[in-house]
């Protein structure tokens, strides 16, 4: 039985096997203490900047990283599986292949893996369809959810946008798992990059900074591991 007041349902699920590369859409997924199974387990680290605080190779450096598609050889056991990456040219590499690293960043980069996930802040992220629709209205163009790289897209029962802000400090019960909402999701230049064309629209980040204190969506942590699927109701408690 779902705990708490029902506030919507799950409309989309994604994990990102390699940090900043394309999302893997999911129908359902297991959620552990370290977020979605297989999420952000790999990342590429740029040479010469390991002490920078943000050494990762991301969409900031290569706006076409969304065109590199990672996948697991065994999607049912992603944390134990080999990981492959299909390039925009259609070539498939093992994620550890030096040829892939050389293609991604000739200046020098190496790949690392962490089974606890390589997250900027917290292991779970969520945004509502209402929030994305309202932000699109602010900038005068519909916005693809892929710009925002959430784990969970939620369609809220209430039509109000930005209601995620009210859930900070509370618990969302989603399918068989529960997440604590730790903070609002502070945004960066990544949301300005069109995931299909790679073109940049700075107006999006300006609108978020001006109207939303730089935040869209929420970050969270697992408090009850379990499974979540598209269509699951979301309760807040």
SS3 for the chain is CCCCEEEEEEEEEEECCECCCCCEEECEEEEECCEECCCCCEEEEECCCCCCCCCECCCCCCCCHHHCEEEECCCCCHHHCCEEEECCCCCEEECCCHHHHHHHCCCCEEEEECCCCCCCCCCEEEEEHHHHHHHHHHHCCCCCHHHCCCCEEEEECCCCCCHHHHHCCCEEEECCEEEEEEEEEECCHHHHECCCCCCECHHHHHHHHHHHCCEEEEEEEEEECEEEECCCEEEEC
Q: With CA atoms as reference, report the closest residue to 123 among 45, 179, 177.
A: 179
Report d(CA 138, CA 145) in Å as an integer.
15
Q: What are phi and psi of 199, to 5 degrees?
A: -70, 150
Q: What's the confidence (pLDDT) of residue 1?
A: 61
Per-residue pLDDT at 80 exceeds 90: no
Residues 46-75, mean pLDDT to the nearest whole number: 88
Q: State what percent of residues in the chain have pLDDT above 90.
A: 89
Quote the CA–CA distance of 237 and 50 in Å, as a whole number. 40
Give me the chain's average pLDDT, please: 94
pLDDT in tens, 163-179: 999 999 999 999 999 99
Cα–Cα distance between 20 and 62 in angstroms, integer? 9
pLDDT exceeds 70 at position 50: no
User: Do the beta carbons of residue 205 and residue 192 sit within 8 Å?
Assistant: yes
Q: How far is CA 15 from the centre of its chain?
A: 6
Over residues 69-91, the mean pLDDT reads: 93
Q: Give the pLDDT of residue 198.
A: 95
Asked if residues 147 and 141 have their Cβ atoms less than 8 Å apart, the reply is no
Query: For 125-161, what is each residue's pLDDT tens digit?
Result: 999 999 999 999 999 999 999 999 999 999 999 999 9
pLDDT one-digit tens code per residue, 185-224: 999 999 999 999 999 999 999 999 999 999 999 999 999 9
User: What is the pLDDT at residue 123?
Assistant: 96
What is the reported pLDDT for 54?
78
Please give the model's pTM, rounded to 2 decimal places. Answer: 0.95
- pLDDT band, very low/low/confident/very high, at 52 (cuts 50, 70, 90): low
Q: Whose CA is closest to 84, among 94, 74, 76, 75?
A: 94
Average of per-residue pLDDT across 2-16: 92
**pLDDT-wise least confident of 10-19, 54-63, 171-180:** 54-63
The reported pLDDT for the residue numbered 232 is 97
**Taking CA 206 as the corner, what is the angle to CA 196 and CA 25, rounded to the nearest 5 degrees?**
35
Tell me the domains of the chain and their CATH numbers.
5-236 (2.40.33.20)
Length of the chain: 237
């Amino acid at each position: 039985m779902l705990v708490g007041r029902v506030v919507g349902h799950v409309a989309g699920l994604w994990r990102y096997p390699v940090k900043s590369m394309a999302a893997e859409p999911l129908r359902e997924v297991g959620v552990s203490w370290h977020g979605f199974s297989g999420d952000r387990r790999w990342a590429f680290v740029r040479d010469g900047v390991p002490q920078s605080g943000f050494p990762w190779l991301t969409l900031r450096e290569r706006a076409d990283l969304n065109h590199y598609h990672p996948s697991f050889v065994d999607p049912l056991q992603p944390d134990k599986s080999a990981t492959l990456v299909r390039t925009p040219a259609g070539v498939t590499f093992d994620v550890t292949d030096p040829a892939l690293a050389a293609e991604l960043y000739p200046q020098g980069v190496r790949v690392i893996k962490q089974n606890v996930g390589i997250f900027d802040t917290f292991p779970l992220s969520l945004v509502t369809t209402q929030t994305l629709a309202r932000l699109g209205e602010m900038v005068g163009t519909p916005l693809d959810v892929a710009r925002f790289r959430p784990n969970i897209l939620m369609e809220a029962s209430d039509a109000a946008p930005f209601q995620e802000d009210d859930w900070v400090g509370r618990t969302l019960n989603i399918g068989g798992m529960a997440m604590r909402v730790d903070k609002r999701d502070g945004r960066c230049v990544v949301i300005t990059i069109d995931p299909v064309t790679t073109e940049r629209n700075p107006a999006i980040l300006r609108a978020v900074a001006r109207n939303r204190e730089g935040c869209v969506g929420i970050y969270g942590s697992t408090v009850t591991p379990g499974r979540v699927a598209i269509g699951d109701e979301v309760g807040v408690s």
